[in-house]
Amino acid sequence: MGDRKAKDDLFDALASVAKVLGSGRRAEIVDVLAQGERPVDEIAQEIGQSIANTSQHLQLLLRSGLVHSRRDGTRIYYRLSGPGVAQLWAAVRLVASDHLANLSDLAAAYLGDRSALSTLTRTELKDRMDGGDVIVLDVRPEPEFRSGHISGAVSIPVKELAERLQDLPEGVTVAAYCRGPYCVFADEAVRTMHRHGIPAVRLEDGYPEWEAAGLPVETGNGRGSPQNSTEKTSNV
């Protein structure tokens, strides 16, 4: 029989990983870093916290082994330590969706009424891309697009979309995507396009799920600048 204290220590260590995610702000940081590497100041801006508070959260994530860091001049960049961390975050979201009674109400309060928004699954979007009858629009911040995006996607951050609608071709359905199932960017983009008579749908989840499914992704500037873009296929 194994030693009781040794077993307690083992399970306490295993549980410590989940404990680190017991903060909404740290969970949000993981959600941001699932899109790609970001410096502290940009992470702070994304989660609406001071740099000092964000750094404290990042230090906890760093000590737990969930993130890695590197210094480039005066800036410190953070990234997830491996694909398992993104998978853990996806599993937490799935369990919460299945078992938290008020999660739908909380999501609706943040995301608004989604009933008028048409969605595509990853398989449906891939089929339509292969058929050439859809424009794929990445509405995340540009640094996330550069870190990785759906192959062939066009980058127009949601904050710029209203002023750049003329960049979209006429008569073609636009499929917008962002960070995942609880990201509001794609919802806002689809509503904006609908108001201007542009046929638009959203991917039902986001870039991390697309990449995890092994579907084609690329890094760099992407569509329009193929010389600056490197295509890769995820192996998951």
Catalytic residues: 178
| Nearest alpha-carbon partner for 97 in 212, 188, 204 | 204
From residue 202, how far is each of 19, 24, 54 by CA, in Å? 33, 25, 30
Q: Are 37 and 22 in contact (CB under 8 A)?
A: no
Dist. CA 130–CA 54, nearest whole Å: 41
Q: Are 183 and 205 in contact (CB under 8 A)?
A: no
The answer for residues whose C-beta is within 8 angstroms of residue 118's C-beta and 6 or more apart is: 190, 201, 202
* DSSP state, residue 164: -
| Nearest alpha-carbon partner for 88 in 8, 27, 10, 13 | 27
Dist. CA 227–CA 224, nearest whole Å: 9
